Chain A
Amino acid sequence: MSGVDAASISARKVGRVRQIGPAIVFGVAFLALWESAVRGFDLKPYFLAAPSKIGEQFFKNFSRIWEASMVSGGNAFIGLVVGTVFGVAMSFILSRYRFLGELVTPLAIALNAIPIFVLVAILNNMYSITSEIPRRVMVTLVVYFIVLVNVAKGLTQVRSTHVELMRSYAASEFAILRKVRVPNAVPYLFTALKVAAPASVITAFVSEYFGGLQNGLGSRITSNIANSKNAAAWAYVLGACLLGLAFYIVSIILEGIARKGEAK
């Protein structure tokens, strides 16, 4: 029995290596190509920095990158949580009162059609220059719509057989909500979060380009570029990538916990 288990575990390990192996090989090859291109063609640092230089800057400035990540990441996190809470709450209201959906949907589409970042400039005018609030509001807005659209779909697009079945049990609307609509919407919520989590990070640091405090990843990238410290700017870009990735991975882990056992 244990022999079988050990075999299946080692088989799973081999499977995982096979899964991520090609990705690692590709990544290393890509970096090597980049490095050799910079050296071979003698590309100037202001044109393209070498990965080795970027890595050096990353570790040299690690504490500052970490601090900047905490600022941008903190803004992203707060916006993500608030946007998700509001988005979920609103989707419940919209699924209960369909006519409200018809009122709100055109507004949502209109808001999504404008390049939403321009709102940051307006929000910056509303608050003091040292405020993080405009950035957090911006992230909240972006996350809110992603969550609202998806969760509302999950709450309303339930299988007709399920609804008929519940009605045949004389179930109340509330029971149908609790036992059919909400569980049906859970995967939709996590699909939304997988999109919203990296989007919240991107929004948080792009918002920093519109002025305000110079303490986040976005503003550090701009200021380093302004000072021709290209490799340092790239080091902050790397930090931004890792931050976005961290948010994404956390959203996947949460999904795994919430949907344990019922994955397809």
Chain B
Amino acid sequence: MSALEVVGTSKIFNQGTAKQVDALVDVNLTVKPGEFVSLIGPSGCGKSTLLRLIANLLEPTSGSVSVNKKTAAQARLDQDYGMAFQQAGLFDWRTVSKNIELPLELKGWDKDKREARAKEMLELVKLPEFADLYPWQLSGGMQQRIAIARALAAHPQLLLMDEPFGALDEMTREYMQGELLRICGETSTTVVFVTHSIPEAVYLSNRVVVMSPRPGRITSVIDVDLGSKRNEDTRAADGFFRSITAVREALRGTHAEHAAANAIRGVEDR
């Protein structure tokens, strides 16, 4: 049983032209239900591309992506996943509550049901008193919590997140990480999470997928064994630091390899 399966998938932009970019080459990834998986790597490693392939916002050049045993396209049509981006992407002309209701509106839910769900979601992200405010009246962290509430409003089993805490300050970021784990634990949601931050990936994940650029590919997958109950003490635990070191070394490997490849290319250019 898998929540998500990516098999032999490649994505090549501008194929056959001078501007050809091998964004992803032969990627295989299986995610189990309820699992939290982070994608980490230097910019250009294709982690956001991989997320967009899973979301069916991009079509793979080859290979296959399936979500809940369906094609990615069908999963998108059925709204089987929720998505959150680096920018909260709330609509300024809608109240907080109406923002959360948007995916439900598109599913054709009636008003009472939508409002009840929005209320429930606001309770979940602990912002029930903000329903009738507009997004610009909220802080960045609150906006991102509303975006998570919106992504989970239709109760999808899968949550796709593209550096959702990237624009937040460190304190807010750590708080949000704790909240995300709590929310996903309560709703038993599977998460694929793109990040630049090693501690963030380790703190949140069951598995950290390390990627490398040119061409974008998965170089290693590191299991994080910190148990299912994580809290502020986790950040001081030995296991936490061991995993951080493991991820860092895996990333260094990709960097060293990348630098070597560049050096060789430099020689060839001459």
Q: Tell which of A164, A183, A186, A261 touches B85, judged by Cβ atoms closer than 8 Å.
A: A164
CA distance A168 to B81 in the complex (A): 8
If A168-B76, A168-B83, A169-B106 touch, whether A186 touches B89 (CB-CB below 8 Å) is: no
Q: Tell which of B85, B87, B102, B136 touches A264, judged by Cβ atoms closer than 8 Å.
A: B136
Q: Tell which of A162, A167, A179, A264 touches B89, judged by Cβ atoms closer than 8 Å.
A: A162
Say whether B103 contacts A159, CB under 8 Å: no
Q: Tell which of A167, A179, A186 touches B57, judged by Cβ atoms closer than 8 Å.
A: A167
The interface residues of chain B lying within 8 Å CB-to-CB of A118 are: none
Contact-size category for A: 20 to 34
For the complex, is B92 an interface residue (Cβ under 8 Å from A)?
yes
B126-139 toward A: CB 8 Å interface, digit per residue (1/0)?
00000000101000
CA distance A175 to B81 in the complex (A): 19
The interface residues of chain B lying within 8 Å CB-to-CB of A159 are: 87, 89
Say whether B57 contacts A183, CB under 8 Å: no
Q: Count the B residues whose beta carbon is within 8 Å of the partner chain — how many?
A: 21
The interface residues of chain B lying within 8 Å CB-to-CB of A264 are: 92, 136
Q: Tell which of A165, A171, A186, A259 touches B83, judged by Cβ atoms closer than 8 Å.
A: A165
Say whether B77 contacts A170, CB under 8 Å: yes
CA distance A180 to B91 in the complex (A): 8
A173-212 toward B: CB 8 Å interface, digit per residue (1/0)?
0010001100100100000000000000000000000000
Closest to B107 in A: A169
CA distance A164 to B83 in the complex (A): 9
Closest to A159 in B: B89
> B25-57: which have CB < 8 Å to A?
55, 57
A–B Cβ pairs within 8 angstroms, 29 of them: A159-B89, A161-B85, A161-B89, A164-B83, A165-B83, A165-B85, A165-B89, A166-B106, A168-B55, A168-B57, A168-B76, A168-B81, A168-B82, A169-B103, A170-B76, A170-B78, A170-B106, A175-B106, A179-B91, A179-B102, A179-B105, A179-B106, A183-B93, A186-B93, A261-B134, A262-B92, A262-B134, A262-B136, A264-B136
Closest 6 CB pairs of A and B: A161-B89, A168-B83, A183-B93, A170-B77, A169-B106, A161-B87
